[in-house]
Structure 1
Amino acid sequence: MTRETASQHRPTPVLFHRAWAIALIACLTIVAAAAFAAMPGILIDPLHTEYQWSRGSISVAASVNMILYGVIAPFAAALMDRFGIRRIALVALSTIVAGALLTTVMTEVWQLTLYWGVLIGAGTGSLSMTFAATIAGHWFVKRRGLVIGALTGSSAFGQLVFLPALAWIVDHQGWRPALVTLSLTAGTMIVLIALVLRDHPADVGQRPYGATSFVAKPRTDEGAARRTVGVLYRSVRSRGFWLLAGAFAVCGATTNGIMWTHFVPAAQDEGMAVTAAASLVSMIGVFALVGTVLSGWLTDRFDPRLLLVGYYAGRGLLLAGLPALLGPDAGAAIVSWVVVFGLLDVATVPPTILLCRRVFGADGAIVFGWVNAVHQVGAGAMAAFGGFTRDATGDYGPVWLLAAALCGVAAVAAFRVGRTEEESGDGPESRTDAPSESAGA
């Protein structure tokens, strides 16, 4: 249960709304956390060479990381409601730093799974798209779709900022200095969060951006774990949840699962240098930021279901054609592919978040956390499948074709979201408690 309590503050007139400073700190935090998601793709070959571990066993650690990243997210959203965004963000970043530093002294493959898979997976999962959704939900009424797009796009931007430099460090200094660099970055964000981030506009006596009246800080009486599980229990009885979750699982499988984990080693198989391959992945991050911000703008104005259909269909066509484009050189064809794929890469997030909120009302952020958990299960499954397929066949070709086919399935599922509820009278249009997103446009 969530009930409103009287605030100890009154709104004060300001020239600059603090919501934008909060959004900036959240963006930098997501950038720092997202940099860790880019590392498995450039760690596979160095770890395979140094320890003689199979690519499949290394991919298992990446898979555990992705799955836990998703599973922890809905609990993190509820914990942020209960204990505050700032506290949970500080704990999450501290966990990430500990996992990264421990990874540098590991000697067994199970330690990679524990340190990278469990600790870093839990930490980065707490600072994922549910973190973005919670920040946007607390601090913004207007421009919510745009802010969600910018924050979720900053995840790909984090890979843009760090990946080429990390690839250079790995190539010239080794993989351990690269992890130390990331640890220092996360440590810097711990300081900034402690100084700047606040949980709710009421904490500083302001209204959410675009609100016409003061909004008291909600107080959550229900335990975080109980609420999270309760929301899951209620939402899984909706067909809309499974359509959203199934489509988003394909999103995870075709981005984190293969692109971020296996694109670099797949390009290396074709003779491309690791720095060139990493630069292509970073270019995806550049255009993912542009595409996600644009998608957030479009989501404020058009049917998010139709946007998802277009995104998944386009991604499927691109993945089907990728095997023919990979080669030793980063020519115009593969660069053009990277640009278009980047525009579609994280564009699915804003319409998915807004559909969760439209269908499930005030529980939308936690529902999206569970949908994102399924996203990461899809990512983890494809990461492991890609590694074992490469070990067994010596080729990534079947992985790209399977991913393309799954995108077609996701496009169909996205088109059905909401339609089944409308037909049965249980959809967002029939709910009186579902907030209107158009107010945020």
Structure 2
Amino acid sequence: MFRRAAWRNTASDAVSLHQDEALSTTMLLLKSYGPTGFLLREEGEARNLKVFLGDPHTCTCPGFTKEQEPCKHICWVLLRKFRLPREHEYSFQLGLIERQISELLHGLHQTKAQRTELNSSAASGTPNQPDQEARSVCRKAIDAQDVCPICQEELLERKQPVTYCRFGCGNNVHISCMKVWADHQTPSQQEEWVKCPLCRERFSSLKLLQQQLKNTAKLFTAAEREKPDRHLGVVCHSCRICPISGKCFKCTVCRYFYLCEDCEGKRCHPQHPFASRTKRRAKWSLVTEELSGEAKAATSEPENDSLVPEAADPSPDVVLKCLPTVRLRSGSRLLSEGQQCRICLQSFMLGQHVRTLPCHHQFHMDCVDQILRKSNSCPVDGYVIYNPLTWRSSKTKTSLTSASCLSSDSAKQPENSLKDLNQTAKLL
């Protein structure tokens, strides 16, 4: 078959850059024009963009018009929507012919094991049992590979509150994505019911979706709005600054030992190697001996073979026992529609135990304890829970000190910090 776009054997530098941008950007799939046309909107942007796969691919963004290379929107459709591995030869082509498009649509690029796993999970998640509401269906369980049909990001990985199609397929969708989807529908469709982006049946009432959106806003804390280069809960062991901003260094031998960039440059702890990271949610990467300025710059980006496992700093059991825990009773605000644990994405239920972290995030006790026994930070915002400089022991209990605050100028006494958490827990 005649091909308009030249075939490529390797990805160009421009396409590799656009693939990186696509994988790090959240986009919303607002509409489909058949199997290969899509209306997208980048999160935080007001402009809608149209992407069409073919020979060649096209996009209405200025970047594609200027470069005539697959832009981040085309790469997002290929990598996120169709789950195409970025090293696959179809992922960096200027266009695909009809046979290749057919393979893409039928998932023939996936391995046999991947197709079997996806098919089995789809077959096991179709119970349509009657719920409390008439004609409603049961919510499908969320598996590890389940994605939001609008933003195409993994539900359990992103940890954003979800809702589900109550009168059709029962599939889960991010609440924030459904709000954008509902706003994009025509006014006549938006009056009372919102259509499901998957089965096109009634998803839920618009009033219920608005109520869920309002309640889920309470799940987001001030720590999530902090700049990503502020390492919340981390105290420099040398200058005692808290929290550390910019580049943070952690000793790979001594547990809970951190230094800021200035103190690490002064060689305050020369006997052991360090790992570093710039963003608090990023992975730690080993710092190699710097021979020049270029070598130092090379260590700023983590490599897969130099990552330090987070399990090196588990939260001590005595710290877990000090974190406030309550048993949900009737009338608790956490029982409202849309309130849920952001680890398992399941609603809070009457009688369940909920644990509150110093960053004021609240999770099922069983969910968060499993993570804190392996890691020492909040699974949502990266807030470091325990540090010897932020906790002190007394005869009867361990108290939280001033590093629990988001900034040093708003620091509290240890007893007050723990008291505030307990008061928050009592309100539940």
Q: TM-score, normalised to structure 2's length?
A: 0.27
Query: Which one scores higher on RCO, CA 8 angstroms, separation ≥ 6?
Result: 1
Rg bigger for which structure?
Answer: 2
Q: Which has the higher strand share?
A: 2
